[in-house]
């Protein structure tokens, strides 16, 4: 209505960025299962898949399914047709996921887990060794760890579809997030959301900032920048320099 009132018939818009999502981990069980098998003592339900699907939708992204129903692994679904594939801790399964994302038209691949330096963490090797066969410049790793807490093992890659597949399509952006659900959600807010906003052509891409007063002392890491989840209270609190009724009090909700 506002556009019509100004006599504007056409405007420029940006398309929704398309994102493929894959969660890794032998210990992950899709939420559609009634019970966690007794044979897997370290198993836990998939948290990252549902959380990221919701966050991606609210960020204006289109979630694409790069998997067929008849291949290996397991898929967890929610109230739509898009599933999150749970990728087993096997190099072949990780490589297959990357190749599927490359073969699709998705702009971004987001993986969770498998980004650390353990014996069964294959993300980095799959990207830098398997995807670079024949051309070392086919994949660029922009960073493989960050001096932040949580989120240290986060990695960011660019994969050239032209060099890997020989097709004239845009590069694939890949963000490998930590498997810990808190770390995963924090890195999504700080890294994935701004990237999606850039792809959408937005001018303001970074999260808004607010000033608050700490309600309790927090012991910070000496080396890494920390990001705490907090709850805010607008109830005035006495302090050494008086009350601050106009500023919220921030209470940390976890370490």
Dump pLDDT digits (tens) for 166-225: 999 999 999 999 999 999 999 999 999 999 999 999 999 999 999 998 988 988 999 999
- The Cα–Cα gap between 199 and 167 comes to 21
Read off the DSSP letter of residue 153: T
Reported as type and span, the H/E element at residue 205 is none
Q: What is the pLDDT of residue 242?
A: 62
pLDDT band at 244 (very low <50, low <70, confident <90, very high): low
pLDDT band at 75 (very low <50, low <70, confident <90, very high): very low
pLDDT band at 239 (very low <50, low <70, confident <90, very high): low
Rounded average pLDDT over 35-47: 79
Q: What is the pLDDT of residue 88?
A: 93
Distance of CA 9 to the CA centre of its chain: 37
Question: Is 36 exposed, middle or buried, given 0-12, 13-18 or 19+ CB atoms closer than 10 A?
Answer: middle
Residue 110 pLDDT > 80, yes or no?
yes
Mean pLDDT over all residues of the chain?
88
- The Cα–Cα gap between 102 and 159 comes to 8
Question: Is 139 exposed, middle or buried, given 0-12, 13-18 or 19+ CB atoms closer than 10 A?
Answer: buried
Q: What is the pLDDT of residue 243?
A: 59
Residue 39 pLDDT > 60, yes or no?
yes
Higher pLDDT, 40 or 226: 226
Q: What is the pLDDT of residue 82?
A: 64
240: left (phi over 0), alpha (psi -120 to 50) or beta: alpha
How would you label 158-193 residue by residue, b for 16+ Cβ within 10 Å and e otherwise? ebbbebbeeeeeebbbbbbbbbbbbbbbbbbebbbb
Tell me whether strands 74-77 and 108-112 are parallel, antiparallel or unpaired. Answer: unpaired
Rounded average pLDDT over 4-17: 92
- The Cα–Cα gap between 169 and 3 comes to 34
């Amino acid at each position: 209505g506002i556009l019509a009132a100004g006599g504007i018939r056409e405007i420029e818009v940006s398309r929704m960025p398309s994102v493929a999502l894959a969660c890794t981990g032998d210990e992950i069980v899709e939420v559609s299962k009634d019970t966690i098998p007794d044979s897997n003592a370290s198993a836990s339900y998939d948290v990252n898949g549902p959380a990221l699907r919701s966050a991606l939708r609210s960020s204006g992204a289109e979630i694409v399914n790069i998997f067929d129903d008849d291949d290996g692994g397991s898929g967890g679904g929610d109230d739509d047709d898009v599933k999150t594939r749970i990728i087993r801790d096997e190099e072949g399964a990780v490589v297959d996921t990357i190749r599927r994302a490359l073969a699709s038209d998705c702009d971004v691949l987001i993986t969770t887990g498998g980004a650390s330096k353990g014996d069964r963490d294959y993300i980095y090797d799959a990207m830098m060794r398997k995807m670079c066969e024949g051309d070392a410049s086919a994949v660029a790793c922009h960073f493989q760890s960050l001096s932040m807490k949580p989120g240290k093992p986060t990695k960011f890659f660019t994969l050239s579809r032209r060099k890997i597949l020989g097709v004239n399509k845009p590069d694939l952006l890949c963000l490998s997030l930590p498997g810990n659900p808190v770390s995963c959600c924090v890195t999504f807010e700080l890294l994935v959301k701004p990237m999606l906003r850039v792809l959408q052509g937005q001018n303001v891409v970074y999260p808004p900032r607010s000033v608050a007063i700490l309600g309790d002392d927090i012991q910070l890491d000496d080396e890494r920048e920390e990001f705490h989840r907090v709850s805010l209270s607008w109830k005035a609190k006495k302090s050494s320099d008086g009350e601050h009724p106009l500023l919220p009090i921030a209470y940390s909700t976890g370490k």
